[in-house]
Copies of this chain bind each other. A is one copy, B any other.
Amino acid sequence: MRGFDRSWIWLLGKQFVVGFLLCCDQCLQFLSNLTLLRIILDDSVVSALRTKGFFVDSVLESEKILEFAMDEAQGSSNSLPPFLAKTYEMFARDLLPRFFKHSNFSSFIRQLNTYGFRKVDPEQWEFANEDFIRGQPQLLKNIHRRKPVHSHSTPNLQVQGSPLTDLERQSLKDDIERLKNEKEMLILELKSHDQERKGFELQMQLLKERFQNMEQKQQKMVSLVARTLQKPGIASNLGSQLETHNRKRRLQRIDYFYDEANIEDNPIGTSQTVARDNAESTSSNMEQLDHLDSSLRFWENVIPSAAQPYIQPNSRLELDESTSCEDSLPVSCIQLNVDIRPKSPGIDMNSEPTVVPAPEVVPSKEAVVANAASVPTGANDMFWEQFLTENPGATENQEVQSERKDTDSRKNENKPVEPGRFWWNMRNVNSLAEQMGHLTPAERT
């Protein structure tokens, strides 16, 4: 027991332990140098201390006395409880500094109580036992340790301390069980966080890779352009071709923006949560890309074809290529068809416009339709009516929308998903908190 009464001095009164000095480490330090103390304090100080209850002299002389007592105590009561022997020993000398195993005054008191000693004088640390009398060690045998009453051995008798009712027991168990479950959920949550983090890392990595890729391309472009531009008379030649091309392009671009607006704009009022944005952004990005892509493709194909029809094949090829590569979205398909048509100059396409396209590409529904539609439809009114009313958004818009709906629906379903990350939106949190607040039995009434 550090810092507390490493040593102490017992000062016994007339009949019992009377006083006793407890010291902290500082005191210990203070007292550990008794010799020094004696020297310093000298008589005046010593007497001063004495008047305060300390018997310094006793302390100094205790050693000899101790040994004496030792023998005496041992001889007189071999079968006596050690505590009694020790205590009597102390008593016998009126003053006996003694070390028990411990240095706790309270422990000593506890022992006194255990052996039936009672405090006599509330004002003083006097404990008495009628069989503990100076000069009458033979009485000591009448003092017994109080302990045979193992209360725990008779559980039912001890009504005190209400036994745990089944109800209570169950309650406790339930609580623990619940805590376990919740903790487990927390663990899962943490786990999912880890997963997410991992996903993040992956995305980050991919982004980086893409980035590098792009950087490289850019580099290439730069050098390519640099090289090319150095060629004379190029720019001047391009003029005419580009012209028509660009015109068309513009129109397309309108669409592009249009879609963009649709897609990208929602952001503001997006009731959805994060998930949505992600989905949206993704789709929107895709679409944009598609737009651009298609635009580019269109021109890539159209223009050249105008000037050099034979290139068509290549164009087509390219088209296919791009198609396969890029699009995961319907939009692209459409585009493809459009592009392709012009592309397929005088090949099979021409021979059978309606069908040909399909077989050719048919891959995408849109394409098919487009081709099909291209067929001279007589009463198109019907179609248009339906087209403009029911699912007007046919084009990219359509797709976009569908995309969105898809996303939205997901949202609704999997609330947890995006926002889900917050498995715990405000409402949930609150309710949880509330519930937890109610956890306390008392509040439940």
In the complex, what distance in Å separates the CA atom of A341 from the CA atom of B255? 12
Q: Are B393 and A330 in contact (CB under 8 A)?
A: yes
In the complex, what distance in Å separates the CA atom of A224 from the CA atom of B157? 93
Q: Are B308 and A243 in contact (CB under 8 A)?
A: yes
Q: Are B421 and A429 in contact (CB under 8 A)?
A: no
In the complex, what distance in Å separates the CA atom of A22 from the CA atom of B285? 73
Q: Which of B5, B273, B343 contacts A410 (CB 8 A)?
A: B273
A224 to chain B, nearest CB (A): 7
Given that A53-B2, A242-B303 are contacting pairs, would A164 and B164 also be in contact in the complex, using a CB cutoff of 8 Å?
A: yes
One digit per residue, 1 when the CB lies within 8 angstroms of any chain B CB and 0 when it does not, for chain A 179-208 equals 111111111111111111111111111111
Interface-central residue, A183, A246, A364, by most chain B CB under 10 Å: A364
Q: Are B365 and A397 in contact (CB under 8 A)?
A: yes
One digit per residue, 1 when the CB lies within 8 angstroms of any chain B CB and 0 when it does not, for chain A 197-225 equals 11111111111111111111111111111
A223 contact set on B, CB distance < 8 A: 296, 299-300
Q: Are B291 and A326 in contact (CB under 8 A)?
A: yes
A23 to chain B, nearest CB (A): 5
A426 contact set on B, CB distance < 8 A: 415-416
Given that A170-B149, A338-B340, A372-B368 are contacting pairs, would A412 and B410 also be in contact in the complex, using a CB cutoff of 8 Å?
A: no
Given that A162-B164, A222-B221 are contacting pairs, would A322 and B324 also be in contact in the complex, using a CB cutoff of 8 Å?
A: yes
A32 contact set on B, CB distance < 8 A: 56
A136 contact set on B, CB distance < 8 A: none
Q: Are B302 and A314 in contact (CB under 8 A)?
A: yes
One digit per residue, 1 when the CB lies within 8 angstroms of any chain B CB and 0 when it does not, for chain A 142-179 equals 00101011111111111111111111111111111111
In the complex, what distance in Å separates the CA atom of A396 from the CA atom of B403? 11
Residues of A in contact (CB 8 Å), total: 336
A135 CB–B CB distance under 8 Å:
no
How many copies of this chain? 3
A87 to chain B, nearest CB (A): 14
Given contacts A331-B393, A412-B414, 15 further A-B contacts (CB under 8 A): A74-B120, A156-B157, A187-B424, A209-B285, A220-B292, A250-B318, A251-B317, A321-B361, A333-B394, A363-B364, A364-B395, A364-B398, A414-B418, A423-B425, A444-B444
Q: Are A331 and B392 in contact (CB under 8 A)?
A: yes
Q: Are B406 and A416 in contact (CB under 8 A)?
A: no
A94 CB–B CB distance under 8 Å:
no
A414 contact set on B, CB distance < 8 A: 198, 271-273, 276, 408, 411-412, 418-419, 425
A356 contact set on B, CB distance < 8 A: 373-374
Does more than half of chain A's interface fall in helix, strand or loop, or is it mixed?
helix
A236 contact set on B, CB distance < 8 A: 231, 233-234
Interface-central residue, A159, A257, A413, by most chain B CB under 10 Å: A257
A345 contact set on B, CB distance < 8 A: 244, 248
Query: Which residues from 277 to 321 on chain A have a C-beta closer than 8 Å to any C-beta of chain B?
Result: 277-282, 284-308, 311, 314-315, 317-321
A358 CB–B CB distance under 8 Å:
yes
A220 contact set on B, CB distance < 8 A: 292, 295-296
Query: Which residues from 1 to 53 on chain A have a C-beta closer than 8 Å to any C-beta of chain B?
Result: 1-6, 11, 19-32, 45, 47-49, 51-53
Q: Are A202 and B388 in contact (CB under 8 A)?
A: no
Given that A159-B158, A268-B269, A321-B322 are contacting pairs, would A392 and B334 also be in contact in the complex, using a CB cutoff of 8 Å?
A: yes
In the complex, what distance in Å separates the CA atom of A396 from the CA atom of B319? 15
A95 to chain B, nearest CB (A): 13
In the complex, what distance in Å separates the CA atom of A157 from the CA atom of B188? 42
